[in-house]
Amino acid sequence: MNSMYQPLIETLQTCIIDCRVCSIEMAGKESKNDCPKCCIECVDACEALLKMITSDSAYIQQYALLCAEICEYCADHCEEHTHDHCKACAKACRACAEACEKISA
């Protein structure tokens, strides 16, 4: 595995954790947008990218681009809520999207 991906891996892990916390905290709460559904999708995207990185896939850049898009989508929805867990999730998603965009360029 290429060590240049280490910062992205750490960012992906943070995003996965914060999205999982957000989706758990939102369980049973009313939401007028796609939170917590977007959090579940974001976790799936970040985990897929982690798998591509660890297997040294030729498609890392393409997965990173899609992951960035999904992270942005999740951040947009979580930012609409005032819950601390939603704010933390949105922040982690924005950071992850930025890191993914750097890799995909």
**pLDDT, tens digit, 9 for 90 and up, residues 38-53:** 999 999 999 999 999 9
pLDDT of residue 55: 95
Is the whole model's pTM more than 0.75, yes or no? yes
pLDDT of residue 1: 66
- Number of domains making up the chain: 1
How many CA atoms within 13 Å lie on the side-chain side of 85?
A: 16
Which residues are CB-contacts of 97 (< 8 A; sequence separation ≥ 6)? 67, 68, 69, 71, 72, 75
Task: List the domain range (segments joined by +) for residue 53.
Answer: 3-104
Q: How many residues can be counted in the chain? A: 105
Mean pLDDT, residues 56-79 taken together:
97
Residue 67 in contact with residue 7, Cβ under 8 Å?
no
> With bands split at pLDDT 50, 70 and 90, how would you rate the model's confidence at 29?
confident
The domain that contains 70 carries what CATH number?
1.20.1270.360
Residue 42 φ/ψ region, left for φ over 0, alpha for ψ in the -120 to 50 degree band, beta for the rest: alpha
Whether the pLDDT of residue 61 is over 90: the answer is yes
